[in-house]
Amino acid sequence: MTVTADRRALLTGAAALAAGSVFGFRPGPALAQSGDLPAIQAAVAAGKDASTARIQDWIRNPSIAAENLNMPEGAEYMARLARDAGFSDVEIIPTDGHPGVFGVMDVGAPRWLAVYFMYDVKQFDPAEWSSPPLEAALVDKEGFGRVIVGRGAVNQKGPEGAFLAALHALRAAGKSPPVNLVLVCEGEEEIGSPHFRQVTTRPNVLAALKKCEGVFIPTGWQSPSTGAVTINLGAKGIIECELTASGAAWGRGPARDIHSSQKANVDSPAWRLVAALSSLVSPDGNTPAIEGWFEHVRDLTPRERELIAASAEANSEADAKRALGVQTWIDDLPWRQSLERLASQPTVNIEGLVAGYTGPGGKTVLPGSGTAKLDMRLVPNQTVDDCLAKLRAHLDAKGFPDVEVRFTGGYNPTATAEDSRIIRAQKAVYDRAGAPSTLYPRSAGSWPGCVFTDAPVGLPAGQFGLGHGSGAHAPNEYFVIDSTNPKVAGLDGATLGFVDFLYEMASIS
């Protein structure tokens, strides 16, 4: 640890735990009746410092697929974490990209549950951080308590570390998990999981997954103002790609950057990029205009609209706007309609633009090429393959056959039934913990749940976790360790939440 522990904060946390006042934790009947609880609670408390240090050390060892940074090392690290937590038959599984990791914990329980981990993190620019992104410093954050600041803190090493803490606590308490576990991990989540299907469809991995009730990824997304969590019944899919216009491919314009005075008689690939981009969306940039893009888009069902309406009621529009730094939604939509749009609409977003001279001041060049980094969110029943084909056909039809589309990653939308055990178990644990939960038809973000929900795996898939962090993909990402906010769980509460979730999955009808 690079920061001297604040003894007062630790003592306060310990006192709170001793007094049984860990964030709203009330065990379910299965856990309560097991008689295991006192020993587990003591083990969670005793293991907290080690669990915190485990998350910090993991953050200090980042793997970034987009930069090909420490990928084999990250897989080895992940495998070690799995073995340390009690998984056996842990394997590093090579793919055509970066490796996955697989492990099993067969305790002879009647039911099986799968857990999905990502061991990679998003890129970062240290200059933008107030605490170094790889230091994983413990700092006091006003309104939250003691938090870890670092890349991956909430996305996803903190919540994954809390789940590992639950397994360590069970073992320390002399207990086996109440369900058998399958662990599948990938290192390419942040680049669109291009090879994860190669992991889940390996015969031994697929056979293990097929036994499971469902699969979940550990999360820690409680609202800081209400403690609320959203139970997503699915997520949008995504295509990430780069659109490039170049003189070389076009046969017009320069093959490389030339002096800008030539613009009067030489065509510009940068302007061609702008024209090609303009054709992809409505003039306001908000609706895809790619030919046939909405062909397979299905409208929200009445039940989905009902769920969104309930979510709009349960969540604060002002909080959401403040968190995002926005003053108004698209088309000045009211809150509920903005959420319907968020859940139901496919998008074509510019992640980044790069052409010519990008440094300080100007430089009189006519660039030889220009690139837009795009991400496109897909909704049921769009698919990556169909949409990529439509994008290519659209550019060809609009007169841009030379504009290159480089697909860098993505996956289909995913959906899980509201009445599946994994969804109902989440709700039960959240309810007991006093965390208001709202069922939501579809996350606007993406996760590779389709790898599980699509054939051949065909499992219900979801996200679960108490606790809180924020700043995924942004500077100063954090995860709460010692919560001073009565609405959100700290690491201990999140850990006990995972224990309760395992007991619930073992016993739910």
Cβ neighbors of 399 (< 8 A, separation 6 or more) are none
Which distant-in-sequence residues (6+ apart) come within 8 Å of 274 by Cβ? 370
Q: Report the residue number, 56 or 222, with the smaller CB distance to a second copy.
A: 222
Instruction: Out of 200, 268, 382, 484, point to the residue binding a second copy (CB under 8 A).
Output: 268
* Residue 383 DSSP symbol: -
Nearer to a second copy (CB atom), residue 97 or residue 177: 97
Which listed residue (8, 143, 325, 419) binds a second copy by CB under 8 A? 325
Q: Which helix (H) or strand (E) holds 63?
A: none
Contact of 454 with 416, CB cutoff 8 Å? no
**String marking each residue 469-508 x if it binds a second copy according to CB under 8 A:** ---xxx----------------------------------
CB of 242 to a second copy, least distance (A): 8
Burial of residue 310 (CB within 10 Å: 0-12, 13-18, 19+) is middle
Residue with tokens 């964030």: 23
Per-residue x/- marks for a second copy, 61-90, CB under 8 A? ----xxx-----------------------
Q: Which of 139, 266, 297, 388 binds a second copy (CB under 8 A)?
A: 266
Tokens read off for 342? 């968020």
Contact between 382 and a second copy by CB under 8 A: the answer reads no
Shortest gap between Cβ of 236 and a second copy (angstroms)?
Answer: 7
For residue 125, the minimal CB distance to a second copy (Å) is 8
Q: How many CB atoms lie within 10 A of CB 95?
A: 17
Decide: is 509 part of the binding site for a second copy (CB under 8 A).
no
CB 468 within 8 Å of CB 143: no
**CA 487, 490, 494, 495 torsion-angle sign:** negative
114 residue type, one letter? A
> Which 3 state secondary structure label does DSSP give 78?
helix
The number of residues that bind a second copy (CB under 8 A) is 94
240 touching a second copy, by CB under 8 A: yes
DSSP 323: H
One symbol per residue from 148 to 187: x for binding a second copy (CB under 8 A), - otherwise; what is it?
A: ----------------------------------------
CB atoms within 10 A of CB 364: 11
Smallest gap from Cβ 68 to a second copy, in A, equals: 9
Based on the shown chain and the rule CB under 8 A, indicate whether residue 317 belongs to the binding site for a second copy. no
Distance (Å, rounded) from C-alpha 342 to C-alpha 337? 8
Q: How far is the CB of 374 from a second copy (least distance, A)?
A: 8
By CB under 8 A, what part of segment 426-445 binds a second copy? 443-445
Residue 338: enclosing H or E segment and its boundaries? helix 335-344
Task: Please pick, from the candidates 345, 386, 388, 405, the single residue that binds a second copy as defined by CB under 8 A.
Answer: 345
Applying CB under 8 A, which of residues 146, 236, 390, 432 lies at the interface with a second copy? 236
Count other C-beta atoms under 10 Å from residue 464's C-beta.
26
What is residue 468's DSSP assignment? B
300 binds a second copy (CB under 8 A): no
The answer to whether residue 381 forms part of the interface with a second copy (CB under 8 A) is no
Among 9, 408, 424, 427, binds a second copy (CB under 8 A): 408
Exactly one of 84, 257, 291, 386 binds a second copy (CB under 8 A); that residue is 257
